[in-house]
Structure 1
Amino acid sequence: MPEGHSVHRIARQFGRNFVGRAVHAESPQGRFAQGAKLLDGRVPTRAQAVGKQMFLEFDEELWLRVHLGLYGAWDFAGEILVDPTIASANGRMGQTNQRGTDLPGGGVAIHDDAGENSLSSIGAPRRARVHVRMSEQTKGIDEADGLAPEDAPWPPPVVGQVRLRLLTEATCADLRGPTACAVQTPDEIAAVIARLGPDPLVGDVAEGEERFLSAVRRRGVAIGQLLMDQSVVSGIGNVYRAEMLFRARLDPHTPGDVVPEEIVRGLWRDWVSLLRIGVETGQMMTMDGLDGEAWRRAMARRDDRHWVYHRAGLPCRVCGTEIVLEEMQARKLYWCPTCQR
């Protein structure tokens, strides 16, 4: 299931390439025909992510809400601002540009005119006809198929089961396999967001910290479960859950109401930092203190950027103890029984 950084990146794609442009909406698969009819011809006015859900506002009257779930994906095609020397064939983003701000490990985040980074603003912006898939892939969230031929048909042919196609004069977005895809009113969207926990990139960060602290400290549920509860905190999934608990040296089974306040606050602040890195690089980078070459390796290979995730049976990078894999609420949990005691 997509974790928070990938959904924020998708929202930014829509913000850069669809907001302010009239769209043709259709449901080639047929399962969203009524919703597509409501959106057809409208102009998106705002794209927003909260945790694992994306919200696209149309004409201040209707919203499109999408939750990708385990198997959903957006495919973008057409004219998208992209530097092909930075967005490589597998969609990973280079860290060699000379403008932007430093990231841990000597990397560079490239910022657009809003101070944010997305696929549409890497390197020297230019328009190129491309195809990019944005979904949950632990080997790299943004899987790009690369540049499309200049004479490729437009609009691109429908391939497979496309729930929803949004099309401007220059850009196409195809949605496949989402858990949720719905057209809703502003009141319905507000109710959905009200049920979600705080997201570091939405609203006041300090207020979010207090909400998170209160939600964790009042419940006797294992912290490993609470971090995956989207009503407690938005956007954390399997990878970030395992890595944040290791970074805090916290046993996943510890009840939330006995985790010390300073540790809970530390978890929130760590999430603030990790989410920022994830949005800016497209990768769930959770290891600290990497030099330039180690950072580049970690950007290219998942096995080089995580402390415990996907390392069952391998020695802990800190103490050498074998990393344990267990199930917690039907989701895989990786942790070190020595460091996290």
Structure 2
Amino acid sequence: MPEGHTLHRLAREHQRHFAGAPVHVSSPQGRFESGAARVDGRVLLRAEAWGKHLLHHYESGLIVHVHLGLYGKFTDLPLPMGAPVGQVRMRMVGAEIGTDLRGPTACEIYDEPQLRSLADRLGPDPLRPDADPTRAWRRISKSQTAIGALLMDQAVIAGVGNVYRAELLFRHGINPNRPGARLGAAEWDAMWLDLVALMKVGVRRGKMHVVRPEHDNGEPAYAKDRPRTYVYRRTGSACRVCGTPVAHSVMKARNLFWCPTCQPV
């Protein structure tokens, strides 16, 4: 599932390509037909992201809410776009470019009360200027839940996924099974600042760069088109810092990776 930096990058692209002008919105697949009709031809005022949620604000006061889920993807196409290919949930056509959305978990119309309800359910997003890390800290500091699970809880922090979870904990030497209440305030402050910096790099470069320059060598990344990671998807491989085999387990149905030496219990 795309992590928060991907949604913020999409929001920036959509702001650049579509905002400030009328947008033709349709649903070739038909599943978003009524919603598309409500914003079709309206001026897109702004696009923004909150965690893993993309929000298109139209002049009518209506908002298109998109959650990509595991399979959702936008595909940009030059004009004229031609006939849709495959199951296109939403097509947006602007003055200079168009984009097709396929396979999202959600593509729906929100009004302002629904948006407020979504915001109330989500924790602070490290990439939003209005993010308040103390909101997350209040939850973490009182919880006996493992920090590895808390970081993935979108009600605690919005936008963190499996890669940022694994790599952030490694970078700060914190075992993923440590209860949140046993995390120190100074540790949390350092983690938050690091997370903000890492996710901003992800937005700027389009990929998650999490390995420090002095460790960015040796065994290649887990996939050809991905930068190296410290522990994510490196089960059994030597830790890039100490050489200990990277460990793997499952936490709340998600794969968990860590170094037993660099992240002691």
Q: TM-score of the superposition, structure 2-length normalised?
A: 0.93
Q: Confirm whether residue 282 of structure 1 aligns to residue 206 of structure 2.
A: yes
Q: TM-score of the superposition, structure 1-length normalised?
A: 0.73
Residue in 1 aligned with 2:54? 54
- Give unpaired runs (5+ residues) of structure 1: 80-153
2:5, 2:127 within 8 Å by CA — same for their partners in 1?
no
Residue in 1 aligned with 2:83? 157
Residue in 2 aligned with 1:317? 240
RMSD: 1.9
Residue in 2 aligned with 1:230? 154
1:88-110 deviations in whole A, cap 9, x for unaligned?
xxxxxxxxxxxxxxxxxxxxxxx
Q: Which has the higher contact order (CA 8 A, sep 6+)?
A: 1
2:237, 2:246 within 8 Å by CA — same for their partners in 1?
yes
Q: What is the alpha-carbon distance in structure 1 between the residues aligned to residue 202 and residue 95 of structure 2?
A: 31
The correspondence of residues 119-268 of structure 1 with structure 2, limited to 5 A, is 154-205=80-131, 208-268=132-192
Q: State the Cα distance separating 1:310 from its structure 2 match.
A: 1.2
1:113-164 deviations in whole A, cap 9, x for unaligned?
xxxxxxxxxxxxxxxxxxxxxxxxxxxxxxxxxxxxxxxxx22321111011
Q: Please give the secondary structure, in 2, of the residue aligned with 1:200.
A: coil
Q: What is the alpha-carbon distance in structure 2 between the residues aligned to residue 304 and residue 161 of structure 1?
A: 31
Q: Percent identity?
A: 44
- Size of the aligned set, in residue pairs, is 261
Q: What is the alpha-carbon distance in structure 1 between the residues aligned to residue 15 and residue 110 of structure 2?
A: 19
Q: What is the alpha-carbon distance in structure 2 between the residues aligned to residue 10 and residue 272 of structure 1?
A: 18
2:44, 2:59 within 8 Å by CA — same for their partners in 1?
yes
1:278, 1:284 within 8 Å by CA — same for their partners in 2?
yes
Q: What is the alpha-carbon distance in structure 2 between the residues aligned to residue 325 and residue 71 of structure 1?
A: 25
Q: State the Cα distance separating 1:290 from its structure 2 match.
A: 4.8
Q: Please give the secondary structure, in 2, of the residue aligned with 1:270.
A: helix
Residue in 1 aligned with 2:256? 333
- The AA in structure 1 aligned to 2:207 is Q
Greater mean alpha carbon deviation, residues 154-163 or residues 220-229: 154-163
Q: Please give the secondary structure, in 1, of the residue aligned with 2:213.
A: coil
1:286, 1:305 within 8 Å by CA — same for their partners in 2?
yes
Pair 274,165 (structure 1): closer, same or farther in 2 beyond 3 Å: same
- Give unpaired runs (5+ residues) of structure 2: none
1:274-329 deviations in whole A, cap 9, x for unaligned?
011111111100011359x96xx98x956652111111110111111111121111
Q: What is the alpha-carbon distance in structure 1 between the residues aligned to residue 182 and residue 225 of structure 2?
A: 33
Residue in 2 aligned with 1:102? none
Q: State the Cα distance separating 1:51 from its structure 2 match.
A: 0.8
Residue in 1 aligned with 2:38? 38
Q: What is the alpha-carbon distance in structure 2 between the residues aligned to residue 220 and residue 203 of structure 1?
A: 29
Runs of at least 4 residues off by over 3 Å = 300-304
Q: Please give the secondary structure, in 2, of the residue aligned with 1:163.
A: strand
1:212, 1:268 within 8 Å by CA — same for their partners in 2?
no
Q: What is the alpha-carbon distance in structure 1 between the residues aligned to residue 48 and residue 36 of structure 2?
A: 19
Q: What is the alpha-carbon distance in structure 1 between the residues aligned to residue 11 and residue 226 of structure 2?
A: 27
Pair 281,188 (structure 1): closer, same or farther in 2 beyond 3 Å: same
Q: What is the alpha-carbon distance in structure 1 between the residues aligned to residue 48 and residue 212 of structure 2?
A: 29
Q: Please give the secondary structure, in 1, of the residue aligned with 2:127.
A: coil
